[in-house]
Amino acid sequence: MASSLINSELFKDQYSTKEMRAVFSGRAQIQSWLDCWVALAKAEAKNGVIPESAAEEIAQKAHAEDIDMDYVREGFKKTSHPLMPQIRAFTQLCSPEAGGYIHWGATTQDITDTRMILQLRNAQDILEKQLEHLLNQVLDKAEKYKALPEAGRTHAQHAVPITLGYKFAIWADELGRDLERLQHDRKTYFAGNFGGAAGTLASLFDKGIAVRNDFCKNLGLAIPTITWHVSRDRLANFSSDIAIAASTIGKMANEIINLQRTEIEEVEEGFQMGKVGSSTMPQKRNPMICENIYANVRLVKNNANLGLEAMVQEHERDMSFW
């Protein structure tokens, strides 16, 4: 049994999508690790750190479907290490000559962080498309209902008349800012991370900065000014942007819930035959979808707080808030 509704085999389609789950699947995580090692090997070969032939073989063998997930899973449990079993599994696919250059000059957090950034970037691509679709839907409603009278409310009491389109227009304006914020900030928080043992690039001597820059370029990620092993503001920024966008949607869902009240009945969430409002009272049309949405929003907002907590790090490495 999953510990989260997002991952529940029974309820997951109410709280997540197949497309988003694929981004964070075990295979996708493994492939992201492999992509990082390929990018690193190519960067090091370009700068004369490792043989070109080794980089070519590493790139040829970097396929997640060839990795034994059971071996990796058991290895994590035995070693208590978050990456070494995957390094060993990948090394077994390569010749001894090429395998010895996998992870060359890197530290675990370099690959762990960059892998995470690759997955977050893929996730945000999906989120931006969803936001664009939602924004267009809301704009259409704003136009459609721009002259439909509705009671304006302040302090939960009737105020002066508005139109339903006006309410939708306010939502659209906010959604537009949410989308712009995500698009603007992605160039900041989608950066690669490569620094070696203590983040100083010392193991690569004078080639360190060049390798780091090419590593990031190979992955299409921004090049950081300096190692960010203990600088987690990028992740706080990302999680905050996501939480702000989610909160806009949560506000919309909550407004629909309130306006669908029996004593108001001004709007209603979408209904289709087969949807059930209550197992006891068949006449009810409960705003179940909006309630599920608002539940998800609460989860997202709490995760944003974890992003802020992760900014407090110790020394040059602190695994407790990876």
Residue 81: active-site member: no
> Which tokens is 145 given?
């209902």
Catalytic residue among 4, 25, 95, 278: 278
The CA distance from 60 to 57, in Å, is: 5
Counts of helices then strands in the chain (DSSP H, E): 12, 2
Could you write out the DSSP letters of every residue in 110-167?
HHHHHHHHHHHHHHHHHHHHHHHHHHHHHHHHHHHTTT-EEEEEETTEEEEEEEHHHH
Identity of residue 28:
A
> In angstroms, how far is CA 26 from the centroid of its own chain?
15
Residues 6+ apart with CB under 8 A from 80: none
Using alpha carbons only, how large is the chain's radius of gyration in Å? Answer: 24
- Catalytic annotation present for 229: no
Cβ 294 vs Cβ 17: under 8 Å: no
On the 0-12 / 13-18 / 19+ scale of CB atoms within 10 A, 287 is buried
CA-CA-CA-CA dihedral for 32, 36, 42, 47, to nearest 10: 170
The one catalytic residue in 3, 155, 315, 320 is 155
SS3 label, residue 222: strand
- Other C-beta atoms closer than 10 Å to the C-beta of 68 total 13
Cβ distance 137 to 169 under 8 Å?
no
Residues carrying an active site annotation: 155, 278
